[in-house]
Amino acid sequence: MEPITITIALLAALFGGAVTVALLNWSTVKREIDVSKIPGGFAQVINKGLKGDHYEVDLGIFDRGGTRHKSKSWKAKNLDSELRSSFSQEGGVIRVQT
């Protein structure tokens, strides 16, 4: 990636904007869950669906009481097969105990 592209992506992430990627894969989402997890809490990944030419996917990290402590959003041209399959099996919402 060009340095300016990296800078824009980092600024978008810092200020809560969605990160735009060509392909969002489960390993990217899982890595974000692993670094942000709260013991005894949970992560919830929501596929907001196809919005124009891209998917919108939101991640929330919650404590056991349901308070959200961290959020991350992605806009993706495509989802990998593992993520797409998980969303279809779970009705668009994936919940992971942390």
Using the predicted structure, report yes or no on whether residue 1 has a pLDDT greater than 60: no
Looking at residue 41, its pLDDT comes to 98
Residues pairing with 59 in the sheet: 45, 72
Rg, Å, the chain Cα set: 14
Torsion region of 45: left, alpha or beta (phi above 0 gives left; psi -120 to 50 gives alpha)? beta
pLDDT tens figures, 48-63: 988 888 999 999 999 9
pLDDT of 11 > 60? The answer is no
**pLDDT tens per residue, range 20-38:** 999 999 999 999 999 999 9
Strands of the sheet with 68-79, listed across from one edge = 19-24, 68-79, 54-62, 42-51, 93-97
Give the best-scoring range by mean pLDDT among 4-8, 9-13, 57-61.
Answer: 57-61
CA distances from 65 to 9, 30, 45, 70 (A): 31, 22, 17, 14
CA pair distance 71, 59, nearest whole angstrom: 6
What number of H helices and E strands is found in the chain? 3, 5
